[in-house]
Amino acid sequence: MNKSALIISGSSDIASATARLLAEKEYSITLTSRKTQSCKDLVKEISDTSSKNCFLIPLDIRDFDSFDNFFSNLKESPDLVLFCPGKMESDELISSKNRGHFSQEINDIVATNFSGPIIFLSKLKDYLVNSDKKASIIILSSVAGDRGRLKNPFYGSSKAGLSSFSSSIRQELGKSKISVITVKLGFVRTKMTNHLNLPKFITSSPEQIAKIIYQAHKKKKNVVYSKFWFSIMTIVKLIPEFIFKRMNF
């Protein structure tokens, strides 16, 4: 049986690793990217090494008005959708004592991590329901959304909103053929984090995350965490607020 995957924001390291893994598993792949040039090498690699097709479609998750046209032009209803747009704060924003002056960057973070995604996912949900096909929607969120922190307030709060929305549509689709899986990532070595000094013991590679994503899809999980992060965040969430507000991490 032909299997197909739609990967939103295909230029990310995690998306690329997952696309390669799914191609090995005999999925045809459709990648989207705001900057399609960044995905062309990956499309060629998959096309050259796999018997399955690999397509590339332009999509800016911040451009809400383009979503209807995107779905009307989609070639086939996918068996698996991996949704992985993400944007973190710049060092300048984090270190500033006047964060409100960065309103454009903050707006871009929220549009990339939350407002664009929830509009797109709402339309995706309707599209998959109307196709009457068994499918998985896998949404990459972050442990940063489990509790607000000083060092990533806008990224963390927007990912918290995305995790909450994922839970909402998982409940809505609970009796349907569609599984909604939230993957909460801890530290991952990617282009987005290459300027950070991450502890190796609790940091995953994109390839490790790709395997987590694929297993979550096969087992129809609800919420999964990357490397040790379920235990870590369980402890973090138990810290009383009067202590937590004095911490700096």
pLDDT at 19: 96
Integer CA distances (angstroms), 52 to 13, 47, 220, 228, in order: 21, 7, 24, 34
Alpha carbon 146 to its chain's center: 15
**Average pLDDT value for residue range 26-49:** 92
Phi, psi of 190 (to 5 degrees): -140, 175
Answer yes or no: is pLDDT of 204 > 80: yes
Answer yes or no: is pLDDT of 194 > 80: no
CB 166 within 8 A of CB 113: no
**Average pLDDT value for residue range 9-24:** 95
Integer CA distances (angstroms), 148 to 18, 110, 125, 247, in order: 29, 15, 28, 12
With a pLDDT cut of 90, the percent of the chain lying above it is 87
**Average pLDDT value for residue range 63-88:** 95
Would you list the domain boundaries of the chain?
3-244
**Average pLDDT value for residue range 103-132:** 97
Strand partners, 56: 31
* Rounded Cα gap, residues 29 and 73, in angstroms: 15
CB 7 within 8 A of CB 30: yes
- How many other CB atoms sit within 10 Å of the CB of residue 205? 15
Integer CA distances (angstroms), 123 to 49, 52, 117, 174, 238, in order: 33, 27, 10, 17, 36
Token pair of 155 as six digits:
């990224």
Average pLDDT of the chain? 94
Phi, psi of 77 (to 5 degrees): -75, 125
- What band does 114 get if pLDDT is binned at 50, 70 and 90? very high
- What band does 192 get if pLDDT is binned at 50, 70 and 90? confident
* Rounded Cα gap, residues 117 and 169, in angstroms: 13
What one-character-per-residue DSSP string does 152-181 give? SHHHHHHHHHHHHHHHHHHHHTTTSSEEEE
Query: What 3-state class would DSSP assign to 85?
Result: coil
pLDDT at 156: 98
Answer yes or no: is pLDDT of 1 > 70: no
pLDDT at 158: 98
The top-level CATH class assigned to 3-244 is alpha beta
pLDDT at 35: 86
**Average pLDDT value for residue range 136-162:** 97
* Rounded Cα gap, residues 57 and 43, in angstroms: 11
Closest listed residue to residue 207, CA positions, set 42, 7, 13, 5: 13
Token pair of 115 as six digits:
């407002």
CB 137 within 8 A of CB 124: yes
pLDDT at 27: 96
Closest listed residue to residue 61, CA positions, set 134, 158, 194, 151: 158
pLDDT at 103: 97
- What band does 128 get if pLDDT is binned at 50, 70 and 90? very high
Strand partners, 223: 182
